[in-house]
Amino acid sequence: MTGSKILVALRIAAPTPLVFRAFTDEIGLWWQADGLFAFTPGPPGRLSFDPKGPEGRLIEEKPDGGRFEIGRILTWEAPPAPGTAGRLALIWRQASFAADQETRVFVAFDPVEDGTRVTVEHLGWDAIPISHAARHHFPDGIFLHRHGSFWRRQLAGLAAVSVRR
């Protein structure tokens, strides 16, 4: 997958295993729904990994009890100890995507002197036409900037949960 991608990173003052667990175990606490980049129509749901681990899926559980599979896990490498790196990769879909449309998200949890650098790379937006509802008719530059801001807000939420653990 090449072409349009989003790349954002944030340092979090917590060790890599703790940040990875906050990302995977507590995504329902820190993920901030955004009407512009919603997975499904209607009220937003709560995100979770089900099951947690390499065979899992990222799921949105809707208030009415419905479930939408955002995507399956491609890589789940939890950092075994402080000072070690971790990786997570998954397919990312929205309900409005056609069967052959998907993007991919790669998340790196790298140890740094004061904690963890979390890097999110979201690839494959070139497979989603500008005219698609998920792109809001934004040209590439504007769409990638707006979606990058969306990911920065998500990482800020992750940081808030991680440092409280």
Domain boundaries, the chain: 5-32+73-164
Question: In which band, very low, low, confident or very high, does the pLDDT at 40 lie, cut at 50, 70 and 90?
Answer: confident
- Contacts of 134-143 with C-beta under 8 Å, sequence gap 24+, read 134/37, 134/94, 134/96, 134/97, 136/36, 140/4, 143/4
116-138 pLDDT, tens digit each = 999 999 999 988 888 888 888 88
The CATH class, in words, for 5-32+73-164 is alpha beta
- pTM, whole model, 2 decimals? 0.93
| pLDDT at 77 > cutoff 50 | yes
